[in-house]
Structure 1
């Protein structure tokens, strides 16, 4: 297993046996994908042009907000998430950076993968090498036995998930198909639940529901015991009806899980048939660190708070 680069110099993890993990890719040109984008996202050449133009006008008028207005790649991920409704995309961008401004503790010390390298080394977060049959990317987050709260704080865990999602969105196909997340709570303890609070729950769900331009296609909780109900009670008041409909609880019922995610994408421990070699968390850490400069650039975007104070 190693990190390699393709002909366009994009890095990827070579797991062997033909399995790879990557986040960066070019815009899709496959007619099947373009047809899906038109059907599900309203992505037509005319809509793209008009929405880009309108969104740029709205952002230019927001004079205290610093974002790359001329970058198609930056704007399109918000437009795709909002089905090319420029005003909704503008509101999402506003909310994204308002949230960043009012929740500094979740951003300031965790701007890039290097800043939370130890989280990846613990092996708590995994990108899966195969997409589901609907094209959705898959990510596994283990918040039970592998979460050593003396090494990884809840804020660092939130940051690691946030950075992984941002990295995944470098792939236009993931913007199109969306993501599915498996939360494995095997071994969840009261000390881990104590790390959570309504404040942390509100931050996580505000980011997922209002401030992250990805299409959440499903949240699947596995190995959930009675103690998980305590944790879920913290989150429940902040979960929208739309998101609640995308959450499934499977415990150890792998037949239930494989009805919603293809077994070909899942490891045998989740009832799947995926034969891809497992990899160590440090390898994902090595890989994501290659994108530190990209994340440092993203971290610089936001509201100019001093300018906002002057304008009031």
Structure 2
């Protein structure tokens, strides 16, 4: 497989079908878009304690998951700023180069090269036996998630149709179980539920062994009702997974009709690295630092 098949769909006009979804689910119309962009710019000028860019692309990233309500988009920006502040030790100045080894040498995170049957991006996280927490610890795992979301937020189709996460726990042992800490669990769920400007539609747990219960007990207290309804457990029952993700759009790894995955985060790394200008700008956003 050539890396050219792995690409970010940035600056792509929405398909007619996606436009219809945007209007139905997100209240997206040309007039509402114009009004919301203008109002959010005004709100940013009024709220001088936070700084974000005000170009259409960036503001749309926040407005779409908030259904084009400017005040809600501003609240999301504030939560992003708070999360960046509260996790500065992990996120300040973060760029792909900092986790290059984790991307290139460890097959922990991957993004399906195509979309699922509903046009959504599918992130696959391998935290079973193939994950070595001594080489890629929980903090690094989170940083990988974070860098991937910085790229995914640039895709108009993903902004509208949303994303799906598949957590693969195949051959999980004690070393992987102990790699999950309460602090990691809380940080990840705070990020997903409060500070991620993407529509997370579903989370699927597959091939989880009994030992997974230890991990679940750490995650469960931090999961709110909205996210709870979007989490599904399948174990080794791929027919159960297929009720949500059609086999025609899944690889053979999950009893799908597509070839087995032969690419990894190493192949996606150049794609993420290519959006460095966006990442550099993102690192400047948040609360205005006092002189």
1:291 is the counterpart of 2:244: no
Matched, 1:180 2:164: yes
Note closer, same or farther for the CA distance 1:305–1:224 as it changes in structure 2 (3 Å cut).
Answer: same
Q: Distance in 2 between matches of 1:38 and 1:280?
A: 35
- Whether contact under 8 Å (1:23, 1:169) holds in the other structure is no
* Offset, 1:29: 4.3
Distance 1:90 1:293 in 2: 23
The alignment's TM-score, normalised by the length of structure 2, stands at: 0.94
Corresponding position: 1:50 with 2:35: yes
CA deviations on 1:247-288 (whole Å, 9 max, x unpaired) are 000011010011100112211121101137612432222332
- The answer on whether the counterparts of 1:52 and 1:75 sit within 8 Å (CA) in structure 2 is yes
Describe the SS at the equivalent of 1:243: helix
SS in structure 2 of the partner of residue 182 of structure 1: strand
- CA drift at 1:165: 1.6
Q: Deviations over 1:39-83 (max 9, x none)?
A: 1110001111111122111111121212102x1111101111011
Match runs of 1:159-238 below 5 Å: 159-238=143-222
Counterpart Cα distance in 1 of 2:6 and 2:25: 26
Secondary structure of residue in 2 paired with 1:306: coil
3-state secondary structure, aligned to 1:194? helix
Partner of 1:281: 265
Which segment drifts farther, 261-270 or 188-197? Answer: 188-197
Shift of 1:130: 2.1
Q: Which residue of 2 aligns with 1:117?
A: 100
Asked if 1 retains the 8 angstrom alpha-carbon contact of 2:108 and 2:265, the reply is: yes
Give 1:120 shift. Answer: 1.2
Q: Deviations over 1:171-214 (max 9, x none)?
A: 10010100111000112222223233322211111110111111
Structure 2: tracts of 5 or more residues without a match:
none
2:91 to 107, 112, 122: 107
Q: TM-score, normalised by structure 1?
A: 0.88
Q: Does 1:65 align with 2:50?
A: yes
